[in-house]
Structure 1
Amino acid sequence: MNSLASLELTAARGESETLEFKRSTAELRRAGETLCAFLNGEGGQVLIGVAPDGKLIGQQVADVTLRDIAAMLGRFEPSARIDLERVDVDGGRTVIVLTAPSAREYAPFAFEGKAYRRVGSTTATMSQEEYARLLLDRNHSRHRWELRPAVGVRLQDLDHEEILRTRQTAIEQRRLSAGTSMDVGDILDRLGLRVDGQITHAAQMLYGTRFLPDYPQALLKLGRFRGTTITGDILDNKQEHMHAFAMVREAIAWLDRTLPLSARFPKGNILREDRLPVPADALREVIVNAVIHRDVSRASSYVAIAVFDDRIEVRSVGEFPSGIRAELLSGEHPSILRNPLMAGAFHRTGAVEVWGRGTNRVIEACRAYGIAAPEFTEVAGVVTVTFKAAVFPEAAQGPRLSQVRPKSVLSLSQVQVLEIASDPSSLADLMASAGHTNRTRFRHQVLAPLIESGLLELTIPDKPTSSRQQYRTTAAGLALVRQNS
């Protein structure tokens, strides 16, 4: 309940995405439009009896005033719960507080036949495209495709070995009782994948073995393209229909075969560390998300992984959930599951969480790995996650490796420097790793030829004698190390 003091504090904050002022019920229709926008968004309050500058002016409230408000509140479709509160101010006048909750699960709401959305501190008419998308989302949540019976699919048509693997892994993760039956039908029931004894679409997508002609959306596409555009030569192309768990395993195995490995010696460690262009855990997280969050209700749906010389793209059919935008994925955001049953099965195995932290972990992993955070985009109903990294640097840079190779054969010390400096390293660290003690000789005989050949670079090139100077292996240097490892 609002007191006069708390209402004054609220009004002092000014109009915002969740707060709007109206002088009186003469603006009741506009108040209804704004409440509609709040219902379709983050929720909010309309204060009637407040001037644009936030001053509480109040108004006289008679029975007819309350009837007018009740009539206005009856013009929402679907019907909405709007809380009404009266706060008395000076002179026997009253401020009316109308509070609309965020009701995204029931959106889109319309007021007098039109839907509205909030844009900053203003209310705008919702586009037909957004209205249609929200309507589809609402219908999907009530009549989800994954819950419907998979007509013609029998229990014996499913991958029993995979179902039992899910059971065992879930028990090990303590996300399924150790006493769970080994009967595959019982396991499906525990996972919510049978309804009234019927196999659901979710079960078919998770464990199916036969997909055509009824389930073309169980498609994984894998491609390696020469260069940096989709029009480049296709060096590897694979398309296959498979269930979700197999899809994740095959995608990871294909990337393991396709992506190059570079080698480095972490500081203080004499053992060589093989390194992919992108952190493996981040790739795996994004692949799992693409598989379980795609729009499996569309026959044209798929998951695709495209490897270029300068990046890796993971694509999946399906828009971002309502209320989620690409820029929100790097911060705190809700976990909105398009396919709760499919996500639930993966969650039981420990493959995913349900807290909406996956994208945050991916971003952190990439930054810790020394590469840029991935880009999240949605174009024409397809979500793409792009990892930008020197996947095949010798190809992306243009000149062939032989064109940048130094005239003389590299010494053992120079090879060690290139391996260590895959992470920026100080002169002292490089000397220690290569077993040198003479600073001048090391600079002239080891570092200078590498820098002149374009294999090593300074992190502060305009201040070569800076006390904070470090050295970093270039893309050409990394390629040379990889070629000779």
Structure 2
Amino acid sequence: MPEQQNIEWKQSWRDEYLQWISGFANAKGGVLYIGKDDKGNVVGVSNYKKLMDDLPNKISSKLGVLCDINLHEEEGLFYIEITTNPYNNGISYNGKYYYRSGTTNQELRGNELTEFLLRKTGKTWDDIEEENASFDDINEGTVRQFVKLGIASKRLPPETENLDTKTVLENLLIINDGKLTRSAILLFGKQPLRFYVSSFLKIGKFGKSSSELLSQEVIEGNLFEQLDEALKILFTRFINSSINYDGIQRIETYEYPYEAVREILLNAFTHRTYENSPIQISVYPDRIRFWNQGELLSPLTPEKLKIDHTSITRNPNIARTFFRAGYVESWGRGTIKIIEECKRAGLLEPKIEELTGGVAVTLFKDKASDEYLSKLDLNDNQLNAVKYIRENGYITNGIYKELYKVSDKTAYRHLDELVNLEILIKVGEKKGTRYEIKY
């Protein structure tokens, strides 16, 4: 049986294993076995009597933790079970804090340590009072616009329109004992950058590589202003659109779905850290990547974000305010919505990954579009085959041979090249194989 989130096996005792107990206490608790190998088999410990005497005092004096310590016997071999419960306060070992995540014990540093200690006190970063701020730093216009949005979305009662700014912010729980919190400044401040130097957003347009910067924009202001300005700039200067008509009705279609981009930005504002790096949007010929600092909070992983999951946010005050404005849902469906919007638009599935201390979401253009295909080294038959599939749903090797008068071997080679470029996928086997566009 493999080691689990809350189980660790060690063949003998070393004092450094106190850090594992610290990790369990700081996470969800767990059990440390002494006298088992890394497969969970009992190998026994010879000095179990001394350990049973020493360990309770050692754990208590070094960590300030009380553990249940039990001696077990199996086929004449003795092993020790040390059960640690989760603690509300942070538990350190030699001045360092550890956290059990998956099957590893991680030392917490920097922002992770700060957030961990805040959570243990029932606080989050965005709930801390900003001592240097006053109501002169609040943008009244943004507050009034928020109230209109909240009433229109029916997430604020109509009488909110008659409340003064201080009462509105108090009702949002972003004022503590009369003092503005960090979230109040970020959401409604006139110049949040005066307080948090990385609270802005950068957009860069690149060539084929990250070293080929063609143009860039910097967007400042509070989060509501950044959202509006970023969407306007992205969809007028960086993201192309095509125009079609349904009768006399003009239909504008963007190469990336508007709602997906909007949701990514809202997620970034809600889940990022605000202490070092700004949000960065990198626009390439075939993709657009959104990156924000701040790794996913446990137990979330990039894969879990693709399915129904619990909503866990780094900045709950910001998330709650966006919810009241009607901007987001509160059920952890943001990333699922992004994926659904891309699928509806006929795009590839977005890539979600943890990258250089943060989270990146990449949207890819339609790889079967004429614009994208024209940039690849494809022959006319391959280009026509993709058009055929768009119209008919699929193509087979036999159809390809018949349409373009090529050999069986050439047809396979041309189609496999399109598969390797991730434009097509193979469906079925052998004679039943057909090729479809990969969405």
Q: State TM-score, norm by structure 1.
A: 0.65
Cα deviations by residue, 1:206-236 (Å, 9 ceiling, x for unpaired): 11223464444332323333x322333525x
Q: CA separation of 1:278/1:424 partners in 2, compared to 1, >3 Å: closer, same or farther?
A: farther
Tell me if the contact between 1:36 and 1:76 (Cα under 8 Å) persists in the aligned partners. Answer: no
Shift of 1:22: 6.1
State whether structure 2 residue 326 is matched by structure 1 residue 350. yes
The reply on whether 1:73 has 2:54 as its aligned counterpart is no
Is the aligned partner of 1:19 residue 2:7?
A: yes
| CA 1:94–1:282: 2 relative to 1, 3 Å | same
Give the distance between the partners of 2:97 and 2:134, measured in 1 at CA. 44
Residue 35 of structure 1 pairs with residue 21 of structure 2: yes
Distance in 2 between residues matched to 1:27 and 1:262, nearest whole Å: 67
Q: Which residue of 2 aligns with 1:184?
A: 165
1:138 and 1:157 mapped to 2: Cα distance? 29
Q: CA RMSD in A?
A: 5.0
Alignment match, 2:84:
100
Q: Could you say what secondary structure the match of 1:278 adopts?
A: coil
1:459–1:469 contact (8 Å) kept in structure 2: no
Deviations, residues 113-142 of structure 1 (Å, cap 9, x unaligned): 666566876x76x56xx4445422234445
> Take 2:40 and 2:436, find their aligned partners in 1: how far apart are those partners?
58
> How many angstroms does 1:322 deviate by?
5.5
Distance 1:152 1:242 in 2: 18
Residues 134 and 275 from structure 1, CA distance in 2 versus in 1: closer, same or farther, beyond 3 angstroms? same
**Structure 1 residue aligned with 2:140, among 160, 165, 181?**
160
* Inter-partner Cα distance in structure 2 for 1:221 and 1:348: 27
CA contact (8 A) 1:310 1:393 kept: no
Q: Give the Cα separation in 1 of the matches to 2:426 and 2:125.
A: 58
Measure how far apart 1:461 and its partner are.
10
Contact 2:426 2:433 in 1 (8 A): no
TM-fit CA distance, 1:264: 8.0
Are residues 1:229 and 2:203 paired? no
Which blocks of at least 5 consecutive residues in structure 2 are unaligned? 396-402, 405-413
Equivalent position of 1:218 in the other structure: 199
- How much does 1:245 deviate? 1.0
Inter-partner Cα distance in structure 1 for 2:175 and 2:191 = 18
Q: Which amino acid in structure 2 is aligned with residue 287 of structure 1?
A: L
Distance of aligned partners of 1:354 and 1:28 in 2 relative to their CA distance in 1, 3 Å threshold? farther
1:248 aligns with 2:227: yes
1:293 is displaced (CA, Å) by 2.2
- Of stretches 339-348 and 377-386 in structure 1, the one that deviates more from structure 2 is 377-386
Residue 280 of structure 1, CA deviation:
2.5
Partner of 1:135: 113
Please state if 1:385 is matched with 2:366. no
Q: What is the rounded CA distance, in whole Å, between the counterparts of 1:329 and 1:45 in structure 2? A: 29
How many residues were matched structurally? 407
- AA aligned to 2:258 is A
CA–CA separation in structure 2 for the residues paired with 1:53 and 1:395: 53
Q: Which amino acid aligns with 2:83?
A: T
**Residue 280 of structure 2 is aligned with which of 294, 304, 309?**
304
- Long gaps (5+) in structure 1: 1-12, 405-413, 428-442, 445-453, 474-485
Q: Aligned match of 2:270 in 281, 292, 295?
A: 292
1:380 deviates by 4.0
What percentage of aligned pairs have identical amino acids? 24
Q: 1:302 to 1:459 in 2, by over 3 A?
A: closer
Using a 3 Å threshold, how does the CA distance of structure 1 residues 179 and 89 change in structure 2: closer, same or farther?
A: farther
- Is residue 259 of structure 2 the alignment partner of residue 281 of structure 1? yes
CA contact (8 A) 1:317 1:382 kept: yes
